[in-house]
């Protein structure tokens, strides 16, 4: 298999920025699997599906047509031919994505799509179950984390256009999502046994990217 870097970790740990930076530095493709779950969640909400009803979500899991771009300079996500890169980042979607992503039929479909995109490799893949489920044979696995306060502050900054997204509110919503994702039966958020953990609390983005690039060159 050509190089596959699996980047896992909780929300706000800096996975997206670091993953894109690593992909650029090494000339690799980039896949944001979280965006795929967000896109599915957005579609469910847009079609009036009760996201708390697992059976209802499962029944529609195969209906949305998702297309993920892999250019780290311009990552895209389309649903039914429409670019939803902006809409999937709202708090409404963020607070509903755990309910949708815990449905086995959703995970089965998206994991299959993710593996298809990964193909022969040459890619940095970020998510919550890449090293444990999606690409268990990835030669480089990273678990990126940070303190709860740091992660909440980063996420709140991303949502600064939303007046209700204070750091305190964001931290509470984030803690709820992490709890749900870590305890779900289908592919829970977890650190792979052979993953290298990097705590980004006190690190700059460039330092995180450098650490992962160095690890990739050492391991592959």
Per-residue 3-state assignment (H helix, E strand, C coil) for 60-117: HCCCCCEEECCCCCCCCEEECCEECCCHHHCHHHHHHHHHHHCCHHHHHHHHHHHHHH
What's the average pLDDT block by block, 10 residues per block, for the chain (220 residues)? Answer: 91 92 98 97 98 98 97 96 95 93 96 97 96 96 92 70 64 74 76 96 96 93
Q: Would you say 191 and 8 are in contact if contact means Cβ atoms under 8 Å apart?
A: yes
Q: Would you say 156 and 62 are in contact if contact means Cβ atoms under 8 Å apart?
A: no
| Confidence (pLDDT) at 191 | 92
Tell me which residue has tokens 């896992």. 8
- Strand 140-145 and strand 196-199: the pairing is parallel
| Confidence (pLDDT) at 174 | 73
Domain limits, the chain: 4-209
What global pTM score does this model have?
0.89
CATH number of 4-209: 3.40.50.300
| Confidence (pLDDT) at 165 | 59
| Confidence (pLDDT) at 164 | 60
| Confidence (pLDDT) at 75 | 94
| Confidence (pLDDT) at 181 | 75
Residue 81: its H or E element: none
Distance CA 115, CA 121 (A): 10
């Amino acid at each position: 298999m050509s190089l596959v870097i699996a980047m896992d970790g909780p929300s706000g740990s800096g996975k997206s920025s670091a993953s894109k930076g690593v992909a650029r530095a090494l000339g690799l493709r980039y896949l944001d699997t979280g965006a795929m779950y967000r896109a599915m969640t957005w579609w469910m909400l847009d079609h009036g599906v009760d996201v708390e009803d697992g059976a209802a979500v499962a029944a529609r899991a195969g209906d949305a047509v998702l297309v993920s771009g892999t250019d780290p300079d311009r990552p895209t996500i389309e649903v039914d031919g429409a670019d939803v890169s902006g809409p999937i980042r709202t708090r409404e979607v963020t607070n509903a994505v755990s309910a949708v992503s815990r449905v086995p039929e959703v995970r089965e479909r998206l994991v299959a799509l993710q593996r298809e995109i990964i193909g022969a490799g040459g890619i940095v893949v970020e998510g919550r179950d890449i090293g444990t489920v999606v690409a268990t044979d990835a030669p480089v696995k990273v678990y990126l984390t940070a303190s709860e306060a740091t992660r909440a502050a980063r996420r709140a900054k991303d949502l600064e256009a939303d007046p209700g997204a204070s750091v305190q509110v964001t931290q509470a919503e984030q803690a709820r999502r992490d709890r749900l994702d870590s305890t779900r039966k289908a592919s829970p958020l977890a650190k792979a046994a052979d993953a290298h953990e990097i705590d980004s609390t006190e690190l700059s983005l460039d330092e995180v990217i450098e650490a992962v690039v160095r690890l990739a060159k050492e391991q592959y």
